Chains A and B, each alone.
Chain A
Amino acid sequence: MSDIILEMKDILKIYPNGIVANEHINLSLKKGEIHALLGENGAGKSTLMKVLFGIEIPEEGEIILKGKRVYIKSPHEAIANGIGMVHQHFMLVPSLTAAENIILGVEPRKFGLFTNMEKAIEVADNIAKMYNFDIDVRAKVETLPVGIKQKVEILKALYRGAEILILDEPTAVLTPQETEELFIQLNKLKEKGHTIIFISHKLDEIKLICDRLTIMRNGKNKGTYKTEDVTTEEISRLMVGRDVFLEFDKEKANPKKTVLKVRDVSVKNKLGNLKVNNISFDIREGEILGIAGVEGNGQNELVDILTGLNENYTGNVLIFNKEAKELGIKGIRDLKVSHIPEDRMTYGCAKDMDILQNVFSNQYGDEKYSSKYLLKSKAMETRAEELIDEFLIKCNSFKQSVGMLSGGNIQKVVVAREFSVGPKIIVANQPTRGIDVGAAEFIRKKIIEFRDQGCAVLLVSADLNEVFELSDRLAVMYKGEFSGVFTNVEELTEEELGKYMLGLKKDEKLEGIIYE
């Protein structure tokens, strides 16, 4: 078959800790197709792609590119072979600018020696415009929110002109509009004859854009299908090995007294730009306030203020009637406020420490787990095992380093830790990012359970389904302000919401955001 561009044959990958991540996997790609790779968290998708990109060396198996066997031992060789990859956890240099990251390794030169910076910025800017990505290529990567970092990663791979492009969960952090834009570009690439491997947990996206799909489970290939030949239900069944029920009922909220009161809050970033502009809202016990919006419109800054990470703001934040600034991070956490951070690798975990040490960072001081000075190891171990079971964290044992878990499983560690304190307020920023369908529904159910027990929830999510499904009230953030508030989420349509998200519509009264 001449239209097969790449074949991976009998790939066996065993990690140094003995985990068999790929168990004799076969995968073949046709030239000019978009091929989806799906499977639960920890199924081995990222690993298989890392093998293809030369980051991991397989124990057995071969890679055949255009009919010739190739040995890819480093990303450098992968790139030389026309393979590009967008990583699930970004591989960007934080202290460099977006432009520098995009051109890194293939810089335009001045006098054949120095990087031509003006040229670099121009090149990066052009390519960003070409793909309709709205980013400031002069900004340092460390200052960028994850959504933008993701775009920089995508541009970096596209700039290298990959013939085969691997995208490991590129849409996890994108908004629907951005995803749509990306898909247009991917289709263009496909028309030009590029081949794309697309990893995602969002089945509707896969149905929308992919020609074929391969399902992985427990490190094995469970079959390759034409997208139109399988239904979403079938895909879920193949992935999980049993039927998955995605629907569940949510009772009407029964909110009680206000526990989080935000008044006239504004904050500027380091460059002096106003990121949150005079925002006020209330959340009561037993309700979920969703915040929708295109990433970068002040959601993260707002979350940082509520959780005590940023104290350089004006206005008032009252948590159980106490001023947040006076409480500090620890004080806020002591009031049982949980925080699922947007950037799990920076704030959410210590990747070189084991699971156990990661799930107790917010509660080791609890008398269940420590006396005045010493930790109670036994109790901690028992609890860690319970959490691993409850949150379906795929691992060897609680002694496994978090950095050695799959992306979705790292997220589960973060969620398990934040949910296990018996929270009274949850500030959840993209809680199910990167998590497979089954586990995501589990987490959403948990959030509703907490709500029904009287917990107040602030949910920031780029996943519109999630926002619709969970929110009792919904606010839209645009340019640091609320552009709309909806108290009857059931009646709201996606189109309508989209207009507020893009700033086409603005509601000046914002009724129902504050309780008197």
Chain B
Amino acid sequence: MSKTSKLNILRTALSIIIALAISFIIIYFISEEPFRAINKMILGPLRSRRIFGNVIELMIPLIFTGVGVCIMFSASQFNLGAEGSFHIGGLVGAMAALWIPLPSFIHPLVAILLGGIAGAIFTFIPALLKIKTSSSELVSSLMLNYIALSFGNYILSYFLKDPKAGAPASYLIPNTARLSILINDTSIHTGLIIAILVTIFGYIFLYKSKTGYEIRVAGQNEQFARYSGINIVKVILISQLLGGFIAGIGGSVQLLGMYRRFSWIVLLGYGWDAVIVTTLAKKNPLYVPISAFFLAYIRIGADIMSRTTDVSPEIVSITQGVIIILIVAEQFLSKYRHKIITKEAKSLLDTEGVE
């Protein structure tokens, strides 16, 4: 079996290479200085400790939303509310940081926890709508994300806004609530540790726990799950509550780790990106950090490229798109894969001879 898993890795690697190659060809045609641009994109993030730090900083929120979406998608609950949960999580994290005075250490923990709860409540709405009215969680969560945004803007303008700040932004987050820096010369904060813990938790929950098993069985065949005595309503609720909770934690961690004020007046997109991360990770939380890292790396690389050359960062969307298509395409490389297996099986046949 290890041979097939090696092949799977090869497949992923090859899709990444092909996608990059396509991006490079496009860069080659649109840029005046294509080689410099490609160089910037590939090696840019490695140029300094600070820039590499940016990659990790971008990876952290993606891990949270990615693990959350893994759990919801494993249950075949296509709730896209991770985006809104993240936003609300950041908002509530900020409110807790501003309004509840607490000693350091305890302060961020409480704020993060409240952010998580807010995120869970948010994804609970589409779940509830589904149970009560059988409305598609996909559609309702999509719409609710914009309500989350507007709600955040409302709270910001009426309750949190610091009139002295130039742009719409909250009062300064007190230092007691902020997450401390983990690695010097970068902004990598202790949220990384929480992200790793969440990854491990997500994996154990989905693949080693009873509830995780129920979620996966129901996600694969709901009628079989029901017949087996698995409580479908529980699966729908828990998967979405937990998914939203983790995305919500992600939002407050992001706010307390990376921002001095709550100033999110648009959706940041980590929830949408989580769908890419989850797809790359094949719905397994254990692979989420790797795929989050990859996505963060090409994003930062593209960013550097666009700042230093004439190529715009949107090129990354093409890279992403191609990778996703190739990975999702079952047939990609299957011929090659089959050849290897056939060869192996045949050599076995020959050595076995007659029965």
Binding site for B on A (CB under 8 A): 12, 14, 16-20, 23, 59, 218, 307, 309, 329-330, 332-334, 339, 341, 346-353, 357, 360-362, 364-365, 370, 373-375, 377, 399
Contacts and interface: CB of A to CB of B under 8 A. Distances in A.
Interface residues of B, number: 31
A357 B218 CA distance: 12
25 contacts: A14-B341, A16-B337, A20-B349, A307-B227, A329-B226, A329-B227, A330-B231, A332-B229, A334-B229, A347-B223, A348-B227, A349-B221, A350-B217, A350-B224, A351-B220, A351-B221, A362-B228, A364-B213, A365-B210, A373-B209, A373-B210, A374-B208, A374-B209, A375-B210, A377-B208
B167 interface: no
A515 B288 CA distance: 61
B345 interface: yes
B210 A374 contact: yes
Contacts of A307: 227
Main secondary structure on chain B at its contact with chain A?
Answer: helix
B1 A399 contact: yes
Contacts of A377: 208
Contacts of B226: 309, 329
B348 to A, nearest CB: 8
Nearest to B204: A374
Given A349-B221, A351-B220, 10 more contacts: A14-B341, A329-B229, A330-B229, A334-B229, A361-B225, A362-B228, A373-B209, A373-B211, A374-B204, A374-B208
Nearest to A372: B210
B208 A349 contact: no
A13 B307 CA distance: 55
Nearest to B4: A17
Contacts, number: 86
Given A14-B342, A20-B345, A375-B209, A347 B227 contact: yes
A358 to B, nearest CB: 8
Interface pairs A-B: 6 shortest CB-CB:
A361-B228, A350-B220, A330-B229, A350-B221, A333-B229, A347-B227
Interface of B: 1, 4, 204, 208-211, 213, 216-217, 220-221, 223-231, 334, 337-338, 341-342, 344-346, 349, 355
A398 B217 CA distance: 16
Given A16-B337, A16-B338, A375 B216 contact: no
A47 to B, nearest CB: 14
B164 to A, nearest CB: 49
B349 to A, nearest CB: 6
A16 B217 contact: no
A82 to B, nearest CB: 29
B239 to A, nearest CB: 16
Contact of A353 (B208, B220, B337, B349): B220
Contacts of A373: 209-211
A364 B210 contact: yes
A339 B224 CA distance: 12
A338 B57 CA distance: 52
Contacts of A347: 223-224, 227
Contact of B227 (A19, A339, A353, A374): A339
Contacts of A309: 226-227
B187 to A, nearest CB: 36
Nearest to B232: A329
Given A14-B345, A16-B337, A399-B1, A357 B217 contact: yes
